[in-house]
Amino acid sequence: MGLFDWKEQSADVLAQGGVIGPDERLPWPQTVVMGMQHVIAMFGATVLAPILMGFDPNLAILMSGIGTLIFFVLTGGKVPSYLGSSFAFIGVVIGATAYAGKGGNPNIGVALGGIIACGAVYTAIGALVHAIGTRWIEKLMPPVVTGAVVAVIGLNLASVPVKNMAASNFDSWMQVVTFVCVGLVAVFTSGLMQRVLILVGLVAATVIYALLTNGLGLGKAMELSGIAAAAWFGMPNFAVPVFDPKAMLMIAPVAIILVAENLGHIKAVTAMTGKNLDMYMGRAFMGDGIATMVSGAGGGTGVTTYAENIGVMAATKVYSTAMFLVAAIIALLLGFSPKFGALIQAIPLPVMGGISIVVFGLIAIAGARIWVENKVDFADNKNLIVAAITLVLGTGDFTLKFGDFALGGIGTATFGAILLYALLNRKA
């Protein structure tokens, strides 16, 4: 199969709820809609992560599109994935730059140098995997570890919508309305509408929010003036990296977390589609690593395979790489449109919070699915202890400090799972 060759599935297959594999696609109009849904699914986190680090969100969107195209080419169009801003960088970037948490990051160049160093380490790991195979990675990260790490990514992010995206009781209820909308679409619709459940649920909840606030005055009204004032076209704020050894040493180890995320992503897609993608593991690591270096070189965040998109694929049963090509092109174009950024920013925060609750929950379930599909034996105390401790470390955001370096929840859970499994597996 060539880079742009997909087998088009008929409407009959879709009507019967069939799975659309990575080498297949829906008719192009539906593929475009599915690509838009993935852009929406990743947008909240891909915008939130740079904001938390003081980066330009529009530039992050642009670089996510470029990164996804790099990943698509490096994997030969075989691995369904979108590359978006990685939350694993937030703690180390804030630590390396002493970012105060508001406005642009004045020391962004130092962070970018570290991000490039991380991408270089990640790319080297990918080259090694491509050269000698995945067996050593799988020995370090068996299904019990990868499943736990994937689940932890969703659980670790759970506090973001629950604690930070509902400022009032009304907002909390709107989050409930939002995830109920998504649930109703998921269960009581069929065909294309069911396959774009995240997008449909978001639109429905936004309409309800506007009626209750702008119409009935029950909460904070939607502010639309920013959309009208924003330009249709504009350049994002590019930045130049600064290679500071201390910052590079602090940020580069994030590569291990990205390896675990990417490995978990591929294992999750393999479990959901029944298609073994292990042969593309090294190329996927290199694609992600190179994309991270390109993003850092232009002023963007480090990128990773997006678990949010696993959630959407799990819900829709569409795994076509064609929709990620479409999503990348859409993101690339939107990165040059301040008006689109303003439109997304106008989506009510509690509605985005409700969507995040759904998506992050689906990520956690994708981790559990890795356990189920690989028949992980939890009667074995080794597996039980590794999974139990990993989940609590990640969910509780357990942090360890080594001098100026702080390893946060996802990091401690990832390294903890790998090292604990290696220690407890010595008996075997």
Query: pLDDT per residue over 345-354, tens digit each?
Result: 777 888 888 8
Of the ranges 14-18, 242-246, 424-428, the best mean pLDDT one? 242-246
Confidence of residue 1 (pLDDT cuts 50, 70, 90): low
Is 11 a residue whose pLDDT tops 60?
no
Q: What is the pLDDT of residue 108?
A: 94
257, 414 contact by CB (below 8 A):
yes
Is 49 a residue whose pLDDT tops 90?
no
Query: pLDDT per residue over 313-338, tens digit each?
Result: 877 788 889 999 999 999 998 888 88
Report the percent of the chain where pLDDT is more than 70.
92
Residues 6+ apart with CB under 8 A from 373: 143, 271
Q: Tell me the residue range of the domain where 211 lies.
A: 20-427
Is 196 a residue whose pLDDT tops 70?
no
Query: pLDDT per residue over 353-405, tens digit each?
Result: 888 788 778 778 878 888 888 889 998 899 999 999 999 998 888 888 877 66
8 or 84, greater pLDDT: 84
207 within a domain of the structure (yes/no): yes
At residue 405, what is the residue type? F
Report the percent of the chain where pLDDT is more than 90.
27
Is 189 a residue whose pLDDT tops 90?
no
Q: What is the pLDDT of residue 25?
A: 85
Mapped onto helix, strand or coil, the DSSP state of residue 348 is coil
Confidence of residue 102 (pLDDT cuts 50, 70, 90): low
Q: What is the pLDDT of residue 297?
A: 96
Query: pLDDT per residue over 197-233, tens digit each?
Result: 777 888 899 999 989 988 888 878 788 887 888 888 8
Residues 6+ apart with CB under 8 A from 137: 129, 259, 263, 281
Q: Which of 325, 258, 346, 281 is nearest to 136 (CA)?
A: 281
Q: What is the CA radius of gyration of the chain?
A: 21
Q: What is the pLDDT of residue 10?
A: 66
Q: What is the pLDDT averaged over residues 171-180?
A: 91
7 within a domain of the structure (yes/no): no
11 within a domain of the structure (yes/no): no
Range from 124-138, 148-162, 236-250, 290-304 carrying the lowest mean pLDDT: 148-162
1 within a domain of the structure (yes/no): no
> Could you give the number of structural domains in the chain?
1
Average per-residue pLDDT for the chain: 84
Q: What is the pLDDT of residue 427?
A: 72
Q: What is the pLDDT of residue 428?
A: 63
Residues 6+ apart with CB under 8 A from 219: 168, 170, 171, 174, 209, 212, 213
408 within a domain of the structure (yes/no): yes
337 within a domain of the structure (yes/no): yes
255, 286 contact by CB (below 8 A):
no
Residues 6+ apart with CB under 8 A from 49: 55, 60, 84, 85, 86, 87, 89, 90, 301
Structure tokens at 69: 């195209």
120 or 147, greater pLDDT: 120
71 or 307, greater pLDDT: 71
9 within a domain of the structure (yes/no): no
Q: What is the pLDDT averaged over residues 49-55?
A: 80
Q: What is the pLDDT of residue 40?
A: 77
Q: What is the pLDDT averaged over residues 274-302?
A: 93
Q: What is the pLDDT of residue 217?
A: 80
- Give the DSSP letter string of 307-336: HHHHHHHHHH-B--THHHHHHHHHHHHHTT
164 or 171, greater pLDDT: 171
Is 53 a residue whose pLDDT tops 90?
no
115 or 251, greater pLDDT: 115
Q: What is the pLDDT of residue 241?
A: 95
Q: What is the pLDDT of residue 69?
A: 96
189 within a domain of the structure (yes/no): yes
Q: Other CB atoms closer than 10 Å to residue 275's CB: what's the count? A: 15
